[in-house]
Amino acid sequence: MSEKVIIFDTSLRDGEQSLQSSLSVKEKLQIALALERMNIDVMEVGFPISSPGDFNSVKVISNTIKNVKICSLARCVDKDIDVAADAMSGMDNSRIHIFLGTSNLHMQYKLRKNFDEILSMAVRSVQRAKRYTDDVEFSCEDAGRTSIDNLCRIVECVIASGATTINIPDTVGYTVPNQFYNIIKSLYEKVPNIDKAVISVHCHDDLGMAVANSISAIMAGARQVEGTMNGIGERAGNAALEEIIMTIFARSDILDVHTDINKKEIYRTSKIISQICNMPIPANKAIVGSNAFAHSSGIHQDGILKNRENYEILSPVIIGLKDVQLNLTSRSGRAAVRYRMTQMGYKDDEYDINKLYVSFLKLADKKGQVFDYDLEALAFINNHQEHPEYFRLDYFNVKSSSTGSAKASVTLICGNDIKTKSATTSNGPVDAVYQALSKISGYSILLQKFQLFAKGKGKDALGQVDILVEYKKRKFHGIGLATDIIESSSKAMVNVLNNIWRANQVTLKLNKFNV
């Protein structure tokens, strides 16, 4: 019987820390729930000591997620470990993950300690973490550049101190598959108590080999793999979990291992993380890219028509990818919308049918037919935006020409007030709307990124606008969706204004209680 490989997702820790703007608690919770549906084994959800916001998000997720082991990161520092435990105090099924640099480079230039001091810190920290949980993971940071003798010695000592999982990270993506295989193999051959712990790997993609190194480690005996969905993370990113999971599935003949992942949730989870994190998936991305199952060559198309296995080693259905376009119109009722959402894999508690149906009717009146991708986009936008909103777009009017200036008049509901402002600019209608919104809100913001995506195809496509702005040295992300580009641009900025308003409210509360 094949052995199980534990899938450890760090999208909400290693992945989130690399984003251009921090995620809200609600956004993190949406991702956590998607990962739970995917049946991830272990979910690393934050670094609680890093900020009050990270501590709070770990606490909320720990109190919500029921079917996945929750993990928090800590340095080999007493306070880090205590705070990590406190953040997860609401659940029993938790893990503390502590890390410490073990390479000569890290010891000499970052930590300024010798190996004996590092060894002592590691042992003491594992013992402290064991006060809170029996599940302690220890990471040898920069293990790929650590001497094998030092690596074996520290692994043996932390296992003896109670660590139940030992992580061997290729922190800077330096190793190649054969070299990483030999590192893992050496640990099994030289560490006498290696059978008392699970060996894990955490590979980065600086040389494009994170997945290959992870698979090599599995072949050498590693039974936990750490990574992120879509490979998001520091620099070039982490090992992409969807690629590892599907490699294990497709090549079970040579790997002889398995996972317990619900593979039909892979595509949807990938899309959710891409949209919430504002990180588009490249078209040629393995497994989840838009071209991953597309065929353009005439020879390939002919082969596919005769037998899909000629040019497809995986069926897109396995990862939950569907290319179904069921036409719904303004004459369709709630039952039809709910049925279609169920067919696409959504559960009733994952969206608000009443709110979705109102958005559906508005869209159906504008474009006539509503397709599956429209419903998914509407459901995402409705879930993405927290309610009640302080700022709500009431009305806008824009006049623009190719030879002159653009003028916008915007009416915005601000709490219990209604405010209208106008702005004129030579930079086009979207800029005019944004200047008017800035006047109303009083927020001095700098637009850093503006992206427009077509959700759908041809004349039926919805326009989704993703923007990134800077306000008081913090970055905020906003999303807007509409058939009209000016409207979707306006909604994206209003989404940003609400995110800024909520952030200001949190700051006021923290100042009030001197947190």
Give the least confident one: 277-286, 299-308, 309-318, 387-396.
Answer: 299-308
The SS3 assignment for 483 reads coil
176-231 pLDDT tens trace: 999 999 999 999 999 999 999 999 999 999 999 999 999 999 999 999 999 999 99
pLDDT confidence tier of residue 364, bands split at 50, 70 and 90: confident
Q: By 3-state DSSP, what share of the chain in percent is helix, strand and coil, each rounded to 5? A: 50, 20, 30
pLDDT of residue 475: 83
Instruction: Give the percent of the chain with pLDDT over 90.
Output: 62
Q: What's the pTM value of the predicted model, to 2 decimals?
A: 0.77
Q: Is the pLDDT of residue 318 over 60?
A: yes
Alpha-carbon gap, residue 461 to 456, rounded angstroms: 4
Give the least confident one: 20-29, 335-344, 424-433, 506-515.
Answer: 506-515
Average pLDDT over every residue of 485-495: 91
Q: Which residues pair with 8 in a beta bridge?
A: 42, 226
Q: Where are the domains of the chain?
A: 3-276, 296-321, 334-370, 391-512
pLDDT confidence tier of residue 515, bands split at 50, 70 and 90: very low
For the chain, the average pLDDT equals 89
pLDDT of residue 93: 83
Alpha-carbon gap, residue 319 to 197, rounded angstroms: 31
Could you tell me the maximum CA-CA distance found in the chain, to the nearest angstrom? 78
The SS3 assignment for 312 reads coil
pLDDT of residue 386: 52
Q: Is the pLDDT of residue 510 over 60?
A: no
125 to each of 82, 157, 250, 288, 398, how far by Cα in Å? 10, 12, 40, 39, 61
319 to each of 10, 22, 313, 350, how far by Cα in Å? 20, 28, 13, 19
Amino acid at 344: M
Alpha-carbon gap, residue 464 to 243, rounded angstroms: 27
Instruction: Give the percent of the chain with pLDDT over 70.
Output: 93
- CATH number for the segment(s) 391-512: 3.30.160.270
Name every residue whose Cβ is closer than 8 Å to that of residue 360 and which is 6 or more positions away in sequence: 328, 332, 337, 370, 374, 375, 378
Burial of 504 (0-12, 13-18, 19+ CB in 10 A): middle
* Residue for token pair 């369709």: 332
Q: Is the pLDDT of residue 273 over 50?
A: yes
Average pLDDT over every residue of 87-94: 89
Average pLDDT over every residue of 433-441: 94
Alpha-carbon gap, residue 39 to 262, rounded angstroms: 6
Average pLDDT over every residue of 234-242: 96
pLDDT of residue 402: 78
* Domain 3-276: which CATH number of 3.40.50.1220, 3.20.20.70, 3.40.50.12780, 3.10.20.740: 3.20.20.70
Amino acid at 498: N
Alpha-carbon gap, residue 390 to 203, rounded angstroms: 42
Q: Describe the crossing of helices 78-87 and 52-64 by its angle, rounded to 10 degrees.
A: 40
Strands 257-258 and 3-4 turn out to be parallel
111-162 pLDDT tens trace: 999 999 999 999 999 999 999 999 999 999 999 999 999 999 999 999 999 9
Average pLDDT over every residue of 323-348: 74
Alpha-carbon gap, residue 187 to 301, rounded angstroms: 47
Check: CB of residue 204 under 8 Å from CB of residue 173.
yes
The SS3 assignment for 497 reads helix
pLDDT of residue 389: 80
Q: Is the pLDDT of residue 514 over 70?
A: no
Name every residue whose Cβ is closer than 8 Å to that of residue 445 and which is 6 or more positions away in sequence: 438, 469, 470, 471, 476, 496, 500
Tell whether the torsion through CA atoms of 188, 47, 476 and 381 is positive or negative: positive
C-alpha dihedral, 287 to 291 to 294 to 300, nearest 10°: -100
